[in-house]
Structure 1
Amino acid sequence: MAAFDLTGKTVLITGSTDGLGRALAREVLDAGATVIVHGRSPERIEATVDELDGGGAVRAYRADFASLAEVHGLADALVAADERVDVLVNNAGIGADGGRELSRDGFELHFAVNYLAGFALTQRLMAEDRVGSRIVNVSSLGQQALDFDDLQLEQGYSGIRAYCQSKLAQILYSFELTPQLAPAVTVNALHPATYMPTKMVPSPISTLEEGVEATFRLVADPALDGTTGAFFDGLRQATPDAQAADAEARRRLWAVSEELTARR
């Protein structure tokens, strides 16, 4: 894996108490950065911080991304602590197994956890000028076009479709956010690797190291300083589902997302 220097940088990785996020936290810490760990389980957070053993270079926050109130609370806590995030990695997510479930706010669970939570957190941190240089959205090659007449998949639910729709939503958001932040902050999305050995994958194909390498590159590679509004398949730039290029679909998703994540 390429060696990059992140000395003096702070990197927030959501969903960093397991799988890709936890392994990426190790890599980022070893590169000299301060790591902000996020998870929903106090026990997993404590175990992750102990494992990283970064002294003052590791801080941790808890929030369940199935609750927008907790996402907003996480943002509040980061702002109150005067955290300055050089790189934000929206990695937290759930897999495609199981039947249709709802978040605490009544939204389809994949859409809520994999997409809306990251949207709400990113928007708040950007509004507070808390993100310094890069946003990395951990998406997937598993993508299906969003049905704006049934975003919550109340008709003909499929776990695979729910997952793939939420992952494409991340990419639409990335592409729509890009021109608003350029050139100061870059925004890219990626498929880290195919079926890595995480708790969501019973039969791995790729290694966790492959996924970490691809994600770490978007976090830290100085050669990508000017690269923004792109989607990567591992280490290669790729073309996502055609809906990502639909400006009207991107604007429509943004408007819906603002409405759904607004504090009431």
Structure 2
Amino acid sequence: MTNHSARFDGKTALITGGTSGMGLAAARRFLDEGARVVITGRDQVRLDAAVKELDGGDRVLAVRGDAADPADLDALAAGVEDRFGRLDVVFANAGVASFQPIGDVTEAEFDRLTDINFKGVFFTVQKTLPLLVDHGAIVINASWTLHRGMSGATLYSATKAAVHNLSHTLAAELGPRGIRVNSVSPGYIETPMFHAAIPEEDHEDVVAAVAAGRFGTSEDVAGAVAFLASDEAAYVNGQDLIIDGGLVAAIADQIV
């Protein structure tokens, strides 16, 4: 069995939206595998709680800021440079969910989602790129909904399709520096955002559509992100890794 405990020794990983769910699990995974970790979030209380939970000492830097605000991202880059001097991995994870029929989408909600889910990812990469070493790795958090149409997800899916496309275009643009860019498309992953979006009474019907017969965990996603960021994925570039228990590719057997 391969020992992954030191894959990121001496490396620095940035995880935006790292205070809970997939972001926090990814931060823990990178920390456990030897990395120095930078996490971001908008809420200082949640940031402080995440730092305490990670218990990584001076290997953890928490920076409060809004991923949709380029000025906050400038401050983030400055903070990372001052503390660690470089980045080896960027996991552009910060994002929000929003589900409603297209007729109910307001301009304010359109702007909010595109600001966080697309603009935020775009400028996270742009602002941190000068710190990212040659042969580093970028992983973008997309969604299974970009692969399969889902009623009520027009706006959300479009923002995730946009950031997935960045993995193609940035892989080409950053190829001369040896920087790999990939995305992950999580399915139904049990996170605070998942529980806020899907009522408890709907869980049985939702999981019935998953061939694996269960919801995913944040750790499932964290493992995939760590793989894509590691040297084990040295020839994986411009790809999307769907982590969904078969939701997109397989029809769940619901015959009793």
Q: Which consecutive unaligned segments of at least 5 residues does structure 2 have? A: 196-202, 208-214, 249-256
SS of 1:24's equivalent in the other structure is helix
Give 1:64 deviation, angstroms: 1.4
2:232 pairs with 1:223: yes
Alignment partners' CA distance in 1, 2:10 and 2:132? 15
Alignment of 1:25-64 (within 5 A): 25-64=27-66
Give 5+ residue unaligned stretches, structure 1.
146-157, 240-264
Counterpart residue number, 2:143: 140
Q: Distance in 2 between matches of 1:225 and 1:217?
A: 10
**2:229 is matched by which residue type in structure 1?**
V
Instruction: Report deviation, 1:76.
Output: 3.9
SS in structure 2 of the partner of residue 88 of structure 1 = strand
Going from structure 1 to structure 2, the CA distance change for 1:235 and 1:32 (only over 3 Å counts) comes to: farther
Deviations 1:128-165 (A, max 9, x none): 243441000011111289xxxxxxxxxxxx96211101
Question: Number of matched residues?
Answer: 219
Deviation at 1:73?
3.2
> Contact 2:216 / 2:244 at 8 angstroms: preserved in 1?
no
Deviation at 1:225, TM superposition (A): 1.1
Change beyond 3 A, Cα 1:75–1:37: same
Of 184, 204, 210, the residue aligned with 2:220 is 210
- Other structure's SS at 1:201 match: helix
The residue identity in structure 1 corresponding to 2:87 is: V
> What is the RMSD computed on CA atoms of the aligned residues?
2.8
Amino acid at match of 1:195: Y
Correspondences of 1:4-43 after superposition (within 5 Å): 4=4, 5-43=7-45
Contact 1:214 1:235 in 2 (8 A): no
TM-score, scaled to structure 1: 0.74
Q: Which amino acid aligns with 1:165?
A: A
Question: Per-residue deviation at 1:66?
Answer: 3.8
Computing the radius of gyration over CA atoms, which structure comes out larger, 1 or 2?
A: 2
Q: CA deviation at 1:169?
A: 0.4
Decide whether the 8 Å contact of 1:13 with 1:25 is kept in 2: yes
Aligned equivalents of 1:144 and 1:226: distance in 2? 23
Aligned position for 2:121: 118
Instruction: Trace 1:112-191 onto structure 2 (pairs within 5 A).
Output: 112-126=115-129, 128-132=130-134, 133-143=136-146, 160-182=153-175, 184-191=178-185
In the alignment, the residues of structure 2 paired with residue 171 and residue 76 of structure 1 have an alpha-carbon distance, to the nearest angstrom, of 27
**Corresponding residue number in structure 1 for 2:86:** 84
Within the candidate set 47, 69, 72, 1:70 is matched to 72
The amino acid across from 1:119 in the alignment is F
Tell me the TM-score normalized by structure 2. Answer: 0.76
Using the aligned pairs only, state the percent identity.
33
